[in-house]
Chain A
Amino acid sequence: MARMKFICDAERCIECNGCVTACKNEHELPWGVNRRRVVTLNDGIPGEKSISVACMHCSDAPCMAVCPVNCFYKTDEGVVLHDKDVCIGCGYCSYACPFGAPQFPGQGTFGVRGKMDKCTFCAGGPEANGSEAEFEKYGRNRLAEGKLPACAEMCSTKALLAGDGDVVADIFRNRVVKRNTGAEVWGWGTAYGSKQAGQATASAQGAKK
Chain B
Amino acid sequence: MSERLPHNRIRCYLLALPVVALAFLPVLVLIILATDAPFEFGTRNWRILGNTLALTVLTVSGAVILGVPLAFVTTCLRIRWAGLALAALVTPLAVPSYIGAFAYFAATGRGGEIEALLGIAPPEVRGLFGTAWVMVLYTFPFVLMPVRASLRRLDANLVDAGRTMGLSPYGAFMHVILPRIRGGIGAGALLVALYTLSDFATPAILGLDTFTRAIYVEYNAFGLNRAAWLSLQLLSLVAVVVFFESRIRTRNERPGRTLRWTPTPVFAASAWSVITFLWLSAVGLPLTLFLIWLGREKSSGFDFNTIYHSVIPSALAAVFAVLCAIPLAQAASAGRLGRWMVRLTSLGFGIPGIVMGTALVYVGLRLPFMYQTTAMLVVGYVLRFLPLATGSLREGLERVEGNMIHAARSLGASQGEAFRRVSLPLVFPAALSGAALVFLEAMRELPLTLLLRPTGTETLTTRLWQVYEAGYFGEAAVPGLLLILTSSFAVLLFLRSERLLGLAAESEA
Question: Do the two shown chains form a genuine complex with each other?
Answer: no
Residues on B facing A (Cβ under 8 Å): none
Residues on A facing B (Cβ under 8 Å): none
